[in-house]
Structure formats: structure tokens, C-alpha cells
Amino acid sequence: MRKMLAAVSRVLLGAAQKPVAAGEASRVLVASRNFANDATFEIKKCDLHRLEEGPPETTVLTREDGLRYYRMMQTVRRMELKADQLYKQKIIRGFCHLCDGQEACCVGLEAGINPTDHLITAYRAHGFTFTRGLTVREILAELTGRRGGCAKGKGGSMHMYAKNFYGGNGIVGAQVPLGAGIALACKYNGKDEVCLTLYGDGAANQGQIFEAYNMAALWKLPCIFICENNRYGMGTSVERAAASTDYYKRGDFIPGLRVDGMDILCVREATKFAAAHCRAGKGPILMELQTYRYHGHSMSDPGVSYRTREEIQEVRSKSDPIMLLTDRMVNNDLASVEELKEIDVEVRKEIEDAAQFATADPEPPLEELGYHIYSSDPPFEVRGANQWIKFKSIS
């Protein structure tokens, strides 16, 4: 049936005069085709630490959700690749840590929580900034340091904020106690909200993380500690950095699970499981997401001096998160290759428009250099490079 439809669509496309008509034609064909509403998938069992049971090993993916996840992951992927391009053109400067390869983490985590829950992460944050609700436009414009950026150009790559998203933090590990504090506020306010507190395999060896584990467990804070293990802390592989690479066990007295971070359904189910644990008042829980970054640590790191191109290629061909979702959806009648390609076209356009804006938007006005020192205060003067240069500071 599918082959026949594909053949018919090819004929129609070939016959069409205008590209719009072709699109319409294929869309008409697609709309008239019956997709499955949903499909059930088996997902990998998670390794468990101090847990009797883990997340379910099967899950249902609806067509609607699948298309949404696909679009989001593709948007993050394309956005990061565009950032790579802009950086090489020197339109983005300074630090730029890309997360292509890790899309199942940011999209899967968001799928497992509510918008009223909270999330904090470190500096590899562009994907989360998007999944937490900001537009590609304001993210790219922040990377290029323009006034249309989500932080008006004041923050840059590592300091983007949104509602219930606390950045974007530059100091490795510092975001983890912050996340436990946000969880404390969740418990204090009594609204059953949870805080997802992310850190990498490199940060996992920071002492302040263990301080946060201790207090979160003592006070039963609704904090989901999440180690995004992409196997390398900058140029140091996990084997060279950690005496124990079982990051999901490093919380010791905190129950943990190790999750396939390349499978968005696995991430989603694990997140729902973890959130339920916290909302039930059982205290913190730890998730290790095993994932991979295609880029180096940052744009200054080619990423091949400490790992082989073969390794990168192997992950791309066998475990790419977008590919895994695509295969599942197409093979189970949840979507067609054509319609996913259409989404690609729309995503590319969105990214292109955003990049245009991010390149053309002017830099913040110099007069605003002194703004936002203090909140809720009357205006005052801020000193510039010498005593005669003064900037006005308003809240």
C-alpha cells in the first residue's frame, strides 16, 4: 500500500507545475492516508540502584507526540548546526557548547514533566533553552550578542533564562546546589512541582554535588539529579576522571537509574518515573542519561584528539536519536518519510529566518551597559573605564 502511494505521489509531483502544488499534492495524499494513532514500543530496561522497580519497559507513542518530538529534536539539531556555522563565520564569539547528538535528552526530559516544573543545567544549554519555551530566534540572537537576544545580549551562550528555566550556568557543578534550592522552594510552596537538576559526567566529581545530594536526601527535596553522561568531560574520558563511572550510583543513599539517553522514549519514561517518585514525597532521585555529543566540548575543540572519528561515526549511524525516532515512526505507520521531510523543510526555514534576524539585529545600545545591576532600585550611576565615563543603571 505504501509503495503504491509513494509511486502515485511521485507521478503527481512530477506532473505538478509549481512547487507549492507539489507540496499540496503530497500533503493531500498524506492527509488522505490512514496512519496509526499510536504504537507500542519496547524500551530498554534501566539499570537500577536502590530501587525495586524501574520505569516500564514498554510505552505507547502517539502519532501526535511523535511528530512533535521529531520536530523539536530536528529544530534543536538544526539550531546547533547553524550556531556552528555562525561561529565559524565569527558572528558568534566566545564560548559555544553544542548539544547535537543529545537531543533525546532535552526533548525527552521535557516530555516527562510539566511546564510548571523547573529545570536547571550547565553551559551546554541551548537545547534546554528551546525545550523550556524560548524561540530559536531569541536564542540565536543571544548567541550573536544582539538586543533581540533572550538576555538582550548581556548573557551570551551560557546565560539564557526562561520561565522555570534557571539557565545556563558557567561554573561547573555550581548549578547542582542551585537546583536543590529550587527543589527546596518547590517543597516549601507545596505545589507538587519538581526540579530537574542537570550536570555532566565531568561535573559529577565536584564536591558541591555531594553536598547537594546529602541535603536533598536529608530534607527529602523533590530534586531529580540528572547526570548527562556524554563520555567525555572536555578532553578527559570518564575512565580517566572517575574512580567509579557508575554515575547513577554515585548518589549512594539516593536511588538511581541508568537510562539510554539516545532513545527519547526511554528518557521520557524514566523522567515520568523519577518525577512520580519525587511528587510522592520520597525525596530525591538520580538519573544517568547515557548520551553522546557529536561536536567537541566547545567550538574551540575539534573533538578528535581524545576520541576517534570512527567512534563518532559509529554513534551517528547506530544510535542517532532523531534516526531512532524516525525509524520507529515510519516502520510503525505513525508517519511517512515525506511528511517528516516536510517538517525538515519547515524547520530549516525557521532556523534560516532566525539566523537572518540574529545576524541583522543590532547590538544592544551602549547606554544600556550599566543596566540591571540591581533589581527594583531607583536609577543610579555606574562607573565606566575612567571617572568621567558614567553609565546610567536602571533596574
> Which residues would be at the binding site for other proteins (CB under 8 A)?
118, 120, 151-155, 159, 161, 166-167, 169-171, 174, 176-186, 188-189, 195, 207-208, 211-212, 214-215, 218-219, 371-377, 380, 382, 387, 395
Q: Cα separation of 119 and 32, whole Å? A: 40
Closest CA to 95 of 87, 103, 85, 107: 87
As given in the structure block, the three cell numbers for residue 385 are: 573605564
> Judged by CB, which is closer to other proteins: 311, or 365?
365
DSSP symbol at 36? -
> Judged by CB, which is closer to other proteins: 65, or 192?
192
> Judged by CB, which is closer to other proteins: 166, or 232?
166
> Judged by CB, which is closer to other proteins: 83, or 217?
217
Instruction: State in angstroms the smallest separation of the CB of 183 from other proteins.
Output: 8
Read out DSSP for 99-164?
-TT-HHHHHHHHHHS-TTSEEE--S--HHHHHHTT--HHHHHHHHTT-TTSTTTTSS-TT---BTT
Sheet holding 47-49, edge to edge: 47-49, 256-260, 285-290, 223-229, 195-200, 118-120
Instruction: State in angstroms the smallest separation of the CB of 102 from other proteins.
Output: 24
Closest CA to 166 of 129, 116, 126: 129
> Judged by CB, which is closer to other proteins: 41, or 391?
391
Instruction: State in angstroms the smallest separation of the CB of 152 from other proteins.
Output: 4
Instruction: State in angstroms the smallest separation of the CB of 97 from other proteins.
Output: 16
> Judged by CB, which is closer to other proteins: 99, or 186?
186
> Judged by CB, which is closer to other proteins: 59, or 208?
208
Instruction: State in angstroms the smallest separation of the CB of 349 from other proteins.
Output: 28
Question: 192: how many CB neighbours lie within 10 A of its CB?
Answer: 16
Instruction: State in angstroms the smallest separation of the CB of 182 from other proteins.
Output: 4
Instruction: State in angstroms the smallest separation of the CB of 161 from other proteins.
Output: 4
272 vs 216, 248, 318, CA distance in Å?
A: 19, 17, 26
